[in-house]
Amino acid sequence: MAPLDKSLIAGLPAFAGLSDEELDAILATARSARFARDRSVFAQGEEARHFHLLLSGHIRVVRTSPEGTQVVARFINAGELFGIAVAMGLSSYPASAIAAVDSVVLSWPNAAWSDLQQRVPGFSAATYRTIGTRLQETQATVMEMASEQVEQRVARAVLRLVQQSGRKTPDGIEIGVPLSRQDLAEMTGTTLHTVSRLLSRWQANGLVVGGRRKVTVTDPHGLVLVAEGRRDG
C-alpha cells in the first residue's frame, strides 16, 4: 500500500502544529479503508485490535442488548476518533460501528496508542476531553429518558442531528445523515410507530418535512419549543 498523505490529517485539531516529519511518522502505522454505506467497521464483542479516526462520512455507533434490542449510542462525524477501546482498557468493542454513508476510515493498531500519546503534545488531553464529552452527553441522555416525554426526546434528538450534520436547503435545514424512523426510535428509546406519528403531526404543523430516511427541519425555533415542552407539536 502506498504511504498515506499527510494532508489527510494535517488539518485536524488533534494533530495541529506538528511537523511534516511527525505527521509522516504518525501515518506510517495507519491504514485507511473505504466502507460502503451499511458496512460495519467493527462489531460489538469483537476483539479490539485497532482504534479509528473518521476521515469522511458518518458512522453510526450501535449497542445491542442480549435480547436483541438496539440503541444508537451516537453518530461519529468526520475528524472524530472512535472505537478507542484501547484508551478505556477494554479488550473488545462495546458497540458496533456501521457506516451511515460511504465513509473513509483511518485505523491504527492499538500498539500505536502509547506512541501517539507521547509524540503528540496535547493528544492525551484531547482524548480525555473526547471521552469526557461523550460521558456528559450520555448522562444527559439518561436524564432526558428519566424526566421527559417521548415527544420532547425525539425533538431534541432531531435538533442535535441538525447541529451535527445539518445542511441548508431551500426548504429548511436537512439532516445530512440518512436517518430512518427506526434509527430515531433507537436513539430515543421509543418505537418507530411513535416516531412516525410524531413526525406526521410535526409535518402537518409546519415544523418539519419528512422523507424516506430523511428529515428536513423547516421551523427550528418551533421545534426547540417542542423540545422544551413549551409547545405541542
Q: Which of residues 143-202 bind DNA (CB under 7 A)?
A: 149-151, 180-182, 189-194, 196-197, 199-200
How many CA atoms lie within 13 Å of 205's alpha carbon, on the beta-carbon side?
15
List C-alpha distances in Å: 84 to 35, 36, 46, 129: 18, 21, 13, 13
| Interacting partner of 210 out of DNA, a second copy, none (Cβ under 5 to 8 A depending on kind) | DNA
**CB 69 to a second copy: min, Å:** 4
Binding mask 49-68 for DNA (x = CB under 7 A): --------------------
Size of the site for DNA (CB under 7 A): 21
**CB 225 to DNA: min, Å:** 16
| Interacting partner of 128 out of DNA, a second copy, none (Cβ under 5 to 8 A depending on kind) | a second copy
Q: Name which of 109 and 211 has its Cβ closer to DNA.
A: 211
Burial pattern 158-196, b for ≥16 Cβ within 10 A else e, equals bbbbbeebbeeeeebbbbbbbbebebbbbbbebeeebbe
List C-alpha distances in Å: 161 to 176, 187, 207: 8, 11, 15
| Segment interacting with a second copy, rule: CB under 8 A, options 3-11, 137-145, 158-166, 218-226 | 137-145
Q: Name which of 23 and 86 has its Cβ closer to a second copy.
A: 86
From first CA to last CA, the distance across the chain in angstroms is 53
* Binding flag, residue 183, a second copy (CB under 8 A): no
| Interacting partner of 65 out of a second copy, DNA, none (Cβ under 5 to 8 A depending on kind) | a second copy
- Grid coordinates of 6: 499527510
Beta-carbon count within 10 A of 200 CB: 13
* Binding flag, residue 232, a second copy (CB under 8 A): no
Size of the site for a second copy (CB under 8 A): 34
Applying CB under 8 A, which residues contact a second copy? 63, 65, 67, 69, 71, 73, 87-90, 94-95, 117, 124-125, 127-129, 131-136, 138-139, 141-143, 145-147, 186, 189
What are the residues binding DNA (CB under 7 A)?
149-151, 180-182, 189-194, 196-197, 199-200, 203, 210-213
